[in-house]
A and B are shown apart, each in its own frame.
Chain A
Amino acid sequence: MRERDDMNEQDIERAAAELGSDVRIDVERVARRVVAELRTKAVPALWWRKASVLRAAAAIAILVTGGVLVDRIAENSADDAAVSLLPVGLEELSTTGLNEVLDSLDLFTPASELTPASLNDFDEVQLRELLVAMEG
């Protein structure tokens, strides 16, 4: 018979390995209850976790966000163009300034293919008339 004060680590580990060995549960009953409970509550919660659903939701979110951004950028660009032209009177611009404005608008590339004239061929009056016509 082993005395208690002889207890060492191995004895404790041996005894610990047997802890709970007297416990008996009905595993099949547990399995049935778990599955029944999952059927009523967990399964409806699982569908949205599927990768395909998440991917579709992400694609929709990107499309909507992208659409809103593009719309806002387009609105801002139109506003900026109007703002940059309106406060400055065309009469105040020199020929060089008018040329720069026209160049920045980049509207004459197709026309240059149709006519040999370039912006440098216009005099100041012609340039003013052109810009006024564009404003109108």
Chain B
Amino acid sequence: MPATGESRSDSSLIEAWGDGDERAATELVRRHAAPLARFLSAAGAGAGEDVEDLVQETFLRAFRRIETFRGVSTFRTWLMTIGSNLLKDSWRRRSRRPEVSLEERDIVDEAGDPQDKVVAGDIAARIGAFVQTLPRMQRDVFLLRAQQGVEYEEIASALGTTAGAARVHYHHAIKRLKALLD
């Protein structure tokens, strides 16, 4: 009995899509669209329709080039690197990076003291805004590690660098964020 979409591995779904199985493509979107949207939003894609359009474009590009996915990183991390490239292209077309005001960032903290919520929200909003000002490699490494929990080795494979260099980028990002927050 064949496995259902939910229980199949990414690699099995990718292979099925390579044979033209649209249900496999649908399942891959269901599985990875929300984390991809979070990553792209934090990287500066904004929210709402902008990020949804970018997520859609990322999947389209990935599915059309599925034969180039070698499995050196997970499919999700690969998607995020494609999304990051598309975001860069989008900014290049507009010839600017987005201006992000701290007031526009609305990060909600569900727990704790109301006064702490304000501070926590403020700090998260400031971090969110500062992350978008980081150099691209630092930003992608920082988000993949801190937001997505990806290991350095996989980050390095996905971004075409070494694990040691990825660690250095991460610590530079932390140092820069601390300096901006202090």
Contact = CB atoms under 8 A, between A and B. Distances in A.
B143 A30 contact: no
A45 B66 CA distance: 12
B178 interface: yes
B178 A7 contact: yes
Interface range for B: 35 or more
Contact of A16 (B30, B113, B142): B142
A29 B59 CA distance: 13
B143 A16 contact: yes
Interface SS majority for chain A: helix
Interface of A: 1-2, 4-5, 7-9, 11-13, 15-23, 25-31, 33-35, 37-39, 41-43, 45-46, 49
7 contacts: A2-B119, A13-B174, A16-B142, A20-B37, A20-B39, A39-B22, A41-B64
Interface of B: 18, 20, 22, 25-26, 29-30, 33-34, 37-42, 47, 51-52, 55-56, 59-60, 63-64, 67, 106-109, 113, 115-116, 119-120, 123-124, 127-128, 131, 142-143, 146-147, 149, 174, 177-178, 181-182
Give me the 6 closest cross-chain CB pairs, A-B, nearest first: A20-B38, A16-B146, A19-B42, A31-B29, A20-B41, A20-B42
